[in-house]
Structure 1
Amino acid sequence: MSKNQKLWTTEEDLFLRKQYGQMTFQRMGEHLNRSKESVNKRIIRLNLRSEENCLRKKWTTEQDPFLKENIDIMNNREIGNHLGKSPSSVATRIKILKLARKETLRRWTGQEDEYLLKYYGSKSLEHISRRLQRSIPALESRLNRLGLYGVRAYTGNITVYELASCLQIDVHTIYKWIQKKELPHKITRAKTRKFVGVEVSAFWKWAEQNKKLLNFSRIPTNTLLPEPDWVRKQRKYDYYNRPKYEKKQWTEEEDARLWYMFYEEGRTQQEIGQLIGRSRYGVQRRLNRLRKKKLTT
């Protein structure tokens, strides 16, 4: 073993034992920040191939319906990525079940990739799905192919936009934490776009040392998994001790109401703040951001 080679931890070995046969080597490697070859060697060393958890496990009753449902909207590789199967295994299963695609799968275009990368992280996958007329599994698979591996479900990483949504705060606050409070983050590049991601477990470690920056009572239970035990006690404490409107996230309804009251009704920022439970400075900052947003759209 070379001096620079990273030792395998007990937690990583447990992850391999649990996911072997459920996830591909590539997917497990990206989750653990290791190469596919390293995962393969560790599986051999752990003697997992001789156990029941074999990659050639029989297709389950849950996997067949997924295959039938998505055969017309996903290719074999995309289906395999979700089921932990190889593309050839998916092709064989299609033949066994005597399935056939209604028409040739629609290839991804450069314009679709550009739109996906532009709005991923700032708009929901449901919104992008409707816009591109693609299924959410197809979007996730395409992001994987573009180098943005399946954010929350598989890697434990989330974008700053997703983190802001979970914490119910403004995304600019997350960026301030990164710049001024040393919030751990990782930058991923896909084509011309740069994504800032946060690893969930690293966030919780940081949050435990920076409790005053968050109102835990506003964070829904188990919205960021795995959630440490101390969060439950802190959530209860903040519920009874933190200001009611502290760092409250603006909703689309509030934005529309704010815009109407200021520009249509001619109300002052102080009046609007009193009506919607915000400070005058909070109203002022939100108006500035809404103006910039409208100028760029």
Structure 2
Amino acid sequence: MTVPDGGSTTADNPPPTRGEWPDDSRAGAVTDVPLLSRTAHDRGHLERLLPDPARGRPVRVLLVDDQRNVPVHEGPHGPALVYDERATYPEGAVYLGEADGVPYAALRAPRPDTVGGQPVSSWTGLRQVGAQLDDLDAGLLSQAIGIIEWHERNRFSPITGAPTTVERAGWAQRDPESGREVFPRTDPAVIMLVHDGGDRCVLGRQAAWPAGRFSILAGFVEPGESAEAAVAREVAEEVGIGVTDIRYVSSQPWPFPQSLMLGYVARATDLDLQIDDDEIEEARWFSRDELRSGTGPQALPPNVSIARHIIDRWVAGEFS
């Protein structure tokens, strides 16, 4: 399946609406490593910190509403998350880690009128604001969304069906009948730019997307399959061509709901596209000039996504 912006699209995870597509249709300007990293977090001492992750210090809590939106304030240097500073670790929160001596947590909660006495410009989501946040906020937001999604989708034990209890500051659940622990899972998915060895690459479009919206190909890794084998299989399934010279580029967590995107580039062994209508609605070859000038697709993936990261790097000539 083609992945729109670094993550998978399923019945439980619909694609963004037309209003969420970025206006920027030109590629080649963004070559930084994608955001959504956890470089600022330290969860390695979780066992030592439990059962009091805050260790008596105020904890900064990121509130997440039922639409996966969070409070944001527009400051002079761009948007920033608004945290609710609590004197104690709140019941039901998930510990996110510690940065610069400050503990952070996420809490599913209805929208309050104010958040910690701080101004809130809007409540918005990861897709809309992720690319504009600094590394700390972007990492905290992606981590919070991912772990909260996991809890909401796994309220019952996969072993006995019994309601689970939350343990380890939100990073494990326990089946009360069997005593077994259940931990968060991550679904690996591959996302790949296929090029012709020259100046063209393949972009595809799902039927659910607005007309003119294109991205690189992607799909989930199946059981017993390597990531490289998944690249070759997905390309063959979606556009009917073979690939070689499959090379890893980078990865990105994408919590919609719980994917880890593994980015690749690959060279096509034949050029005649045979589109599988069950997978995608449209696929075409686009040249670097078309992507660079904006004369190709009307819309490309947003800057926060690994899809855009790979497209931009290819347009800039990093892959051949």
TM-score with structure 2 setting the length = 0.26
Q: Higher strand share goes to which structure?
A: 2
Larger relative contact order (CA 8 Å, sep ≥ 6): 2
Higher Cα radius of gyration: 1
